[in-house]
Amino acid sequence: MKAAIFVKPGLIEPQERPMPELVHPGDAIIRVVRTCVCGSDLWWYRGVHDKDASSPIGHEGIGVVERVGSDVKNVQAGDFVIMPFTHGCGHCATCRAGFEGNCLNPVTDGIEMGFQAQYTRYTNADWSLVKIPGQPSDYSDDQLNDLLTLSDVMATGYHAAASAEVKPGDTVVVMGDGAVGLCGIIAAKLRGAARIIAMSSHADRQVLATEFGATDIVAERGEAAVAHVLALTDGAGADAVLECVGTELSTDTAVKVARPGAVVGRVGIPDTPEMNTNNLWWRNVGLRGGLASVTTYDRAELLAAVLKGEIHPGRVFTSQFKLDDIQAAYEAMDQRQTVKALVVMD
């Protein structure tokens, strides 16, 4: 089979690899239908974090189950599934509480098989995989793209909104106009927000943000952005803030635009370990968030919302590639030529 392989910073190659095999009784082998490049994949592409050479990559995908291990009862060969990046076991205390992004029983060997491949081995398959009705052929390209986002980016945007406790009638600020931020706008609207202020400085992404439900656009950064948001909210600040970037500046701005008593839902992966938590205390602002609860959100709301046509998060895929062109997909993401790069398997 063919798989995308990390060779060195700046170089991803499609290479022939052995077919994955079942290792644990909770495994499944899946034929990947669609996958994509995540912003976090750029860490090793850019050399920001180390990664072993010759490593398979990718953690977002939808596909069809080929075969399953003996402990897998909830899915079977032929099922069309969402492949959450979280791999929750479903029975530990953390999964039962709805935070499978921090599952206490991860299977660490084999997850590195990578979803940017024709086939992949999926661990903790029995509970974590989410079945999609029918087969890929039953859906349009746009619908398949919507379904693909449920493996990570849409669920992560929703996690920001859920962590920030967005409720009907709220004024919400969304920090970041990448794919996660744009999905955060969709999530805020889905949860009933009345006003959504998108922090975006890119014209093409501002258009998407507005179409997804943003009512206001703030293009400034730093203190100028804070002043603009406070002016829009008559000095009060937002009822909830979705931090979808992870930088120190974005988090600092998120805290400053939140009204006292608000919660900042943070899903942007921190790029530095430092943060001034005193600002939270002085403003009575809460901070929570982390890895998304993908399986939980998909089953509770997101899959139904996609199937009913209520949300269309697949529009964040603004470029499409084949697996043979995976290097071009990474380059497009790295150079911000696309919001999110879609990879369609033959």
Domain limits, the chain: 2-152+293-344, 154-288
One fold for 2-152+293-344 and 154-288: no
Number of other CB atoms surrounding residue 269 within 10 Å? 16
Note the helical H segments in the chain. 42-45, 93-96, 125-128, 141-149, 153-163, 179-190, 203-212, 222-232, 248-257, 278-283, 294-297, 303-307, 326-334
DSSP label at residue 270: P
pLDDT at 110 over 60: no
Q: How do residues 4-58 score in pLDDT, each as one tens digit?
A: 999 999 999 999 999 999 999 999 999 999 999 999 999 999 998 888 888 999 9
| pLDDT value, residue 112 | 58
- Residues of the chain with pLDDT > 90: what percent? 91
- Looking at CATH, the fold of the domain delimited by 154-288 is given as Rossmann fold (3.40.50)
CA distance 65 to 80: 7
Mean pLDDT, all residues of the chain: 95
**Helix 141-149 / helix 153-163 crossing angle, nearest 10 deg:** 50
As a whole number, mean pLDDT of residues 121-148 equals 98
Note the helical H segments in 164-275. 179-190, 203-212, 222-232, 248-257
Q: How do residues 208-245 score in pLDDT, each as one tens digit?
A: 999 999 999 999 999 999 999 999 999 999 999 999 99
- Looking at CATH, the fold of the domain delimited by 2-152+293-344 is given as Quinone Oxidoreductase; Chain A, domain 1 (3.90.180)
